[in-house]
Amino acid sequence: MAKIKTKRERVKFASDNVAGACPEVLEAIIKANEGDSTPYGNDPLSTELQDKFSEIFEKEVIVFPTASGTAANALALSTMTPSYGNIYCHKMSHINTDECGAPEFYTGGGKLIPLTGIMGKITAEELHQSIGGKGIVHHTQPSSVSITQVCETGEVYQLDEIKKIAEITHKHNLNLHMDGARFANALVSLGVTPAEMTWKSGVDVLSFGATKNGCLAAEAIIFFKKELVGDIAFLMKRAGHLLSKMRFVSAQLDAYISNDVWLRNAKHANAMGKKLSDGLSKHNDIEIAYPTEANEVFAKFPREKIEHLNSNGYKMNEEELDGKAVRLVAAWNTKDSDVDELLNTIKAN
């Protein structure tokens, strides 16, 4: 029987999750596969991560590797939020819209308090106005604040914004969590150090993302305060996230943060995002919805252009701004020719 020829599906730009793992990470996994090693995170690769991340963040940190961003976020929040506690976050944040209730589940009932913010980022002023009910037995109790870096509109929190949010957070004796799914992209966009963007600005716990930027399946929960670690080891085991062969996750993280692989990947992804954004802005009928500050581009397209791109195999993500905008994402392996091909396809319409 003759094969039915189908149109080539182009998943590039649908997300940075569509990209494979970078060569350095794959090589590290193969190397980690040689011989036997102690399980459950007691292997040399996992234990050495503590020192390597401590060097990167310029202070002693405590690291727990995980295999997914959702697990990293939910477990991190569960260390600082009791079952009767509140988590203040942006209404568009991943923990509020894309994690299927995982933060609520892992905290045993913690309540997400979504804030409106401005252009995808919460503000210190709105946070201050929203925190209330402390000590009142009838109310869930203020416990933690979570910000996303890069945020859900592709914009990056500036250091002064993080510091102001941290100041309000700590004024109310709460803890500040950063969802760093695109941590490296934000870091190179700001041109600052990891320490400056986290604990020096008041962040207490970080979900360090790596999967979107060249890893196969690797994230990490990073504690900047020892007293917040609490029962995380037991929580991870109970949740099924204490991996027996943790060395394969640790090997990815080790390769990722070595020799500036993570920064190089992020710089390239951001550059491709900027090139795409600049190309789209040249069309009078396409409007850039948010400033392009990292590797994500949000734009409002005419319906005919969306249908044209879909008919040419592109998977257009129309879930942003209630369907009024599409999201296009560049990755560590996006080529100049990929951007040119997309822009030429749009131009042909």
Q: What is the pLDDT of residues 163-185, one digit of tens each?
A: 999 999 999 999 999 999 999 99
Q: 191-195, 226-230, 312-316 — which is least confidently predicted?
A: 312-316
* Contact (CB, 8 A) for 45 and 251: yes
pLDDT band at 345 (very low <50, low <70, confident <90, very high): very high
Query: What pLDDT shows up at residue 181?
Result: 98
Q: Which residue has the tokens 């963040």?
A: 57
Buried/exposed code over 148-178 (b: 16+ C-beta within 10 A; e: otherwise): bbbbbbbbbbeeebbebbbebbeeeebbbbb
Quote the mean pLDDT of the chain. Answer: 94
Sequence length of the chain is 349
Cα of first residue to Cα of last residue in the chain, in angstroms, is 35
Q: Which percentage of the chain shows pLDDT scores above 90?
A: 91
For 249-298, what is each residue's pLDDT tens digit? 999 999 999 999 999 999 999 999 999 999 999 999 999 999 999 999 99
Task: Read off the pLDDT of each residue in 311-326 and give the average, rounded to a whole number.
Answer: 78
Contacts of 79 (CB under 8 A, 6+ apart): 205, 223, 228, 229, 230, 231, 232, 235
Q: What pLDDT, on a 0 to 100 scale, did the predictor assign at position 8?
A: 55
Please give the share of the chain, as a percent, with pLDDT higher than 70: 96
For residue 69, the SS3 value is helix
Q: What are the angstrom distances between the C-alpha of 133 and each of 80, 112, 141, 172, 175?
A: 18, 15, 6, 11, 17
Its pTM stands at 0.95
At 322, the pLDDT band (50, 70, 90 cuts) reads low
pLDDT value at 5 more than 80? no
pLDDT of residue 323: 65
- How big, in percent rounded to 5, are the helix, strand and coil portions of the chain? 45, 15, 40
Question: Can you say how many angstroms the Cα of residue 28 is from the centroid of all Cα atoms in its chain?
Answer: 22
Name the strands in the sheet holding 141-148, side by side, starting at the edge strand that comes first in the sequence: 62-66, 219-223, 205-209, 175-180, 141-148, 85-90, 111-115
Give the domains, in start order, of the chain with CATH numbers.
23-260 (3.40.640.10), 261-347 (3.90.1150.10)
